[in-house]
Amino acid sequence: MNFKSLVLGGLIGTSLMTSFNASAEDYSNINKDMKIMKKIIETSISNGNRYSNRVEAMYLAKQGMVFKLNSTSIVPLPEFDGDWDAWGESLGASALSAVQEVIPAMAPILPEEARLEMEAELEAGMAELDGRYNVEVAEETREELRRMREEARDRRDEYRDHLRELREIERERYRAEKDRREELEKQKKEVEKKVAEYKEKMKEYEKKMDEYRNARKKKVAERKTSIVKETVTALCDYNASLRSLDNDEYVTLIFEGFAESRGANDKVFVFQKSDLTDCRSDESGIKRLLSKATEYNQ
């Protein structure tokens, strides 16, 4: 190998090494900036919630930074403007009143399957209030509902006995003398009246459950909208943390569980880095920035 070839090979090697070191340094700076922006986003959306630091970040070469926000940790049930305890007590009392007053009267005429279905529906509705969505329902009401359900389960054998008794009453009614038949008919009408009362009470219960679900849905939607705006505002206010990105690269925000269309789960916003460089973080500026983004559900 002559000197010229050796020098040429050395120059090529040095050039490649320099290029590699420059690329490694570029990615190191990008990762540092990305970690800073990740922390900024987590802080901006925390809203005092210590579980809200579920933001994942990654860099895709020649594409940009991607931040994924986990909805289960950043969207707890928001505070209700009214009194959730009073709401829960009212709802629990309504359901409790309906069941305590009517189920015992209905026991002799309800097929077990229908009764169990009714209990399951009530239990599922109350479970929604009983902590699954972090709703604070009064402990006294919860304990009373648990006791009521346990009593209902303990009386299942009694229900079977009542069903047999009802069949015997029906047979006796056809064989009985007129006076006895009238007495049995009167008993039957009393039970039917209780059934009608139960239906009215459960209508009120279902109405309250619908109001609760709608209020919760509205609050969650408002919180999601707020999180999107807070995150985009953070990008705009602290865009200096994106300085390592080229202007033709992108910043992608993925909001897990925010999709509003059927068959999709996540809402995605893709911003060109150049649009974030000189944005304004007031309301009109954020609105304009969102209008420039590519938005879709996936």
pLDDT (tens digit per residue) in 41-81: 998 888 665 545 589 999 999 899 999 998 765 655 444 44
Residue spans of alpha helices (H) in 128-242: 139-154, 156-175, 178-237
* Residues of the domain holding 233: 33-76+222-297
> Taking residues 246-270, what's their average pLDDT?
91
Co-location of 212 and 243 in the same domain: no
Q: Are 67 and 254 in contact (CB under 8 A)?
A: yes
Residue 51 counted as domain residue = yes
Residue 23 counted as domain residue = no
Q: What CATH number should be reported for the domain holding residue 248?
A: 3.30.300
Co-location of 63 and 93 in the same domain: no
Q: Are 146 and 97 in contact (CB under 8 A)?
A: no
Which of 150, 183, 218 delimits the end of a domain? 218
Co-location of 187 and 116 in the same domain: yes
> Taking residues 118-143, what's their average pLDDT?
51
Co-location of 133 and 208 in the same domain: yes
Co-location of 259 and 274 in the same domain: yes
More confident position, 29 or 190: 29
Which of 171, 188, 218 delimits the end of a domain? 218
For 263, list phi and psi in degrees, rounded to 5.
85, 0
Residue 109 counted as domain residue = yes
> Taking residues 24-45, what's their average pLDDT?
88
Residue 8 counted as domain residue = no
Smallest CA-to-CA distance from 76 within 274, 215, 224 is with 224
pLDDT at 132: 44
Residue 208 counted as domain residue = yes
pLDDT at 232: 96
Residue 37 counted as domain residue = yes
Residue 270 counted as domain residue = yes
Is the model's pTM score more than 0.95? no
Co-location of 95 and 163 in the same domain: yes
Which of 218, 238, 264 delimits the end of a domain? 218
Residue 126 counted as domain residue = yes
Co-location of 68 and 191 in the same domain: no
pLDDT in tens, 197-234: 766 776 776 777 777 778 878 888 888 899 999 999 99
Q: Are 29 and 234 in contact (CB under 8 A)?
A: no
Co-location of 208 and 229 in the same domain: no
The total of structural domains in the chain comes to 2
pLDDT at 115: 52
- DSSP for 234-285 reads HHHHTGGGGTTS-TTSEEEEEETT---STT---EEEEEEHHHHHT---SHHH
